[in-house]
Amino acid sequence: MSQEIDKKQQAEWEKRYIDKKTAWDRGDVSPALEKTLSKIPEPPSKVLIPACGRGHEVVSLAALGFDVTGVDFAPSAIHDLKYRLSRKNLIATLIDTDLFEWEPSESFDVIYEQTALCALNPDLWPEYARRLYHWLRPGGILVGMFMQTNRDGGPPWHVSLTTLQELFPKTLWGWSDNLNEIIEHPSGLQERFITLKRQD
């Protein structure tokens, strides 16, 4: 993907925040966060939230004592998140960059993937899945919420179970038993909630 396309994508997402056209943003944490807590190592484990947006989950997980890193390339979203963290005297690492340009120096125990993959052009999904694998430590947990729009086009793009099984093959990932857990979104859309464990 060329640098020109990255910049175009970044400008489009930034404009959505400036224009407040952020239908994906619940204004609060997703009910998925509560379900997540029983599936991940306790604080102060290291949690990565890629494409964190305004990061309600960054704030909540930081408040619970997790060592949270949020990454997003929309400056307005990161700026807003920084402000809300500081108002609550909370600390998290926030990185304003393109996920496809970023190489963390350490791996994470957990990745909380909330409507990030479905925001990316499907051409990027294999590379993004490869990155998720490398960002996690062996045995680390990937918690994912994948939009089920059942229509063409995006974002958000529809992410079928078959596509997920191709992107996260069992040779690399341990799959949870429940593949049909659904999180309702206020927009009327649904997210498939899946937990995967990085194999050693």
Ligand X SMILES: C[S@@+](CC[C@H](N)C(=O)[O-])C[C@H]1O[C@@H](n2cnc3c(N)ncnc32)[C@H](O)[C@@H]1O
- Residue with smaller CB distance to ligand X, 109 or 113: 113
Indicate the residue whose CB is closest to ligand X: 53
| Contact track, ligand X, 83-112, x by CB under 6 A | ---------------xxx------------
CA distances from 44 to 57, 71, 148 (A): 15, 19, 32
Instruction: Mark residue 65 as left, alpha or beta (left: phi above 0; alpha: psi -120 to 50; beta: remaining).
Output: left
**Rounded to an integer, what distance in angstroms lies between the CA atom of residue 52 and that of residue 74?**
10
With contacts defined by CB under 6 A, how many residues of the chain interact with ligand X? 20
CB atoms within 10 A of CB 57: 23
**Rounded to an integer, what distance in angstroms lies between the CA atom of residue 76 and that of residue 82?**
10
| Contact track, ligand X, 112-151, x by CB under 6 A | --xxx--xx-------------------------------
For 155, residues 6+ apart whose C-beta sits below 8 A from its C-beta are 118, 119, 120
Window contacting ligand X (CB under 6 A); options: 46-54, 61-69, 79-87, 130-138 = 46-54
CB of 9 to ligand X, least distance (A): 6
| Contact track, ligand X, 51-80, x by CB under 6 A | xxx-----------------xxxx--x---
Main-chain dihedrals φ then ψ at residue 60, nearest 5 degrees: -65, -45
CB of 177 to ligand X, least distance (A): 25
Binding residues for ligand X (CB under 6 A)? 9, 13, 24-25, 51-53, 71-74, 77, 98-100, 114-116, 119-120
